[in-house]
Each structure stands twice: as structure tokens, then as C-alpha cells.
Amino acid sequence: MRSLRKILNVAIAVLAALGVSISGLVTVDVFPNILSAHAAPDVVFRITPDMQSIEPGQTCTVNITFENLPPKEGGAVLFLLTLSWNSSILEATSMQEVAFHSATPEEEWFENIEIENYWIHNSVGEGGTVGQASLAAAWRDLPRAIAGGYAPLTGNGTFATITFKGKQVGTSVLNFDQVWVIAYDPDNPASRYRYLPVASINGQIEQQTISSDINKDGIVDIYDTILLAHLFGTMPSDPKWNPTGDINSDGIIDVYDAMILAGTFGWQFLGS
Ligand SMILES: [Ca+2]
Ligand SMILES: [Ca+2]
């Protein structure tokens, strides 16, 4: 209790130095006013979870989540996001929209804004190794949201969910190229579009080294096949036993290891 009083006294002294006139415990009521004078926190977009590790061929999902979205009492909020990844390493197989995105902007004040839903572009090969997901959505003001039957969008939540399939060993960043959150106020001609401060935090999906790369040179190829053939049929009691050839770690180098090698033939480590 004594320390609390000490903290309050220090706070009062600081406020007095700032020219804030207070007396006694009224200080407590002063704090919210001081806090509200600060700028609103950035809207934060992040990849959740921020890091995942999978094996080639496996799938995983990531959420694009938001934090600190301020309530909107009039007009609308527009979102424009672009996320990119290495499409040699990852393929996006689907993107799920969240319920509030059913807000189809047909209102008159959207007449000059083309809002599309979601699309994914996986580009591999000549001229492109970048996959992109673009998301655009609008959330309207509270009365319209209620009339439309969807939940108002404020605070923290999930914007979209993307499913990725691993293609080969390597690491791909899930990179926010563009994140715009725009408050649209049709009744304020001086400032119809207001860009809200936004921070974004990238994510990452890595795929582990594959066990069928027996000689660990970063590629599953004929040299691994030769090694496996040389070790074929051996067990730990065998003088020429080499555990690196036991791809599935079951204590014998046999046809099951050969099948895994065949199934991953040509895979290579690409790095990040
Ligand atoms: Ca190899
Ligand atoms: Ca084996």
C-alpha cells in the first residue's frame, strides 16, 4: 500500500510538472484522458503461426490475423492485402474467407471502388517463382453490418485462412507485400479516404531435409540410388551397415527405403 501511494505521488509530481492540475487520488481519473490523447495503436496484421515446419508433400494452414482494428461508426473500412511466397517451395491450394467478408459492397459509395474477393496466383517456372494471394474486402458501418446479419469487425480476429502444400525442401517466407486498411467516410469530402497506420509481421514455412538424400548433398538423385543399392539388405549387425541408408529408420535397408527414395527422386534443397 505504501508503494502504491509512492507511485501515485510520483505520478502526481510528473503530471504537475506537465502542467496538469490535480489533487489527491483524482489522478486516477486523469490517466484515461492522458492515454486517449495518444495515437491509436497500429492495426497489426500477422501470419499465425509465424513459423511452421513440414515435410514435402504435407499441407499446413496459416491464418492472416489482425489486431487493434478500431471500431467504425460510419462509412466503411476497406482492406487490401497482398501476401507472397516462394512458389517453387510452396503451393497455395485454397483460401477460406471469413464470415464477415460476405459484405458485398453494393452501396452507392462504393461506386468507384472495385472490390473483388480473394484470389490466389501460383506462378512457377520461367519468369516467376512467386506465389501471391491478394485479398480485398470491405466492412461497412455498424448499423449496416447488423442489418446485413454479420458481426461487426473490431479488435482482434482472423481475416483469412490459406492452405499451403509443401513442394520441396527449403524455406519460404510468407511476406506481406502490401497491407492497406482504409477508413472510408463518404460524408467527409475533405478526408474521404484515411489510411490507418498498419504494421505487418511476416511468417515462414520451412520444409525439412529429406532423409532420402543419403549423401546429404542437397539433392535426391542417382548417387543416392547407388549408395542405397550398395547398402541394400544390410542391418545394424552387418559390417558395412550405414544408418544413413535406412531412410525410414526401421533397422533394415530394404525395398521400403527404396520406395521412399523413388518417391522423392529429384527433390532438392533450395534454401531460402
Ligand atoms: Ca544426394
Ligand atoms: Ca529401412
Q: Phi then psi for 234, rounded to 5 degrees?
A: -85, 155
Copy the grid coordinates of residue 152: 461487426
CATH architecture of residue range(s) 209-272 = Orthogonal Bundle (1.10)
**For residue 225, which ligand has an atom nearest its CA?**
1
pLDDT in tens, the chain (272 residues): 444 455 444 444 444 444 444 333 333 333 444 444 456 789 999 999 999 998 777 899 999 999 998 877 667 777 778 888 998 888 888 887 665 544 444 443 344 343 444 566 766 555 557 788 777 666 655 666 666 666 666 788 888 889 999 888 889 999 998 898 888 777 788 887 889 999 999 999 998 777 898 987 878 999 999 999 999 999 999 999 999 999 999 999 999 999 999 988 988 765 43
Q: What does the DSSP 8-state code read for residue 268?
A: B
Hey, CA dihedral for 113, 150, 120, 206, is it positive or negative? positive
Tell me how far the alpha carbon of residue 246 lies from the centroid of ligand 2, in angstroms: 4
**For residue 232, which ligand has an atom nearest its CA?**
2
pTM of structure? 0.62
Copy the grid coordinates of residue 54: 513440414
170 three-class SS: strand
**For residue 223, which ligand has an atom nearest its CA?**
1
The dihedral region occupied by 148, where left means phi > 0, alpha psi between -120 and 50, and beta the remainder, is: alpha
Looking at the domain that runs over 43-207, which CATH code has it been given?
2.60.40.680
Domain residues of the chain, as ranges?
A: 2-36, 43-207, 209-272
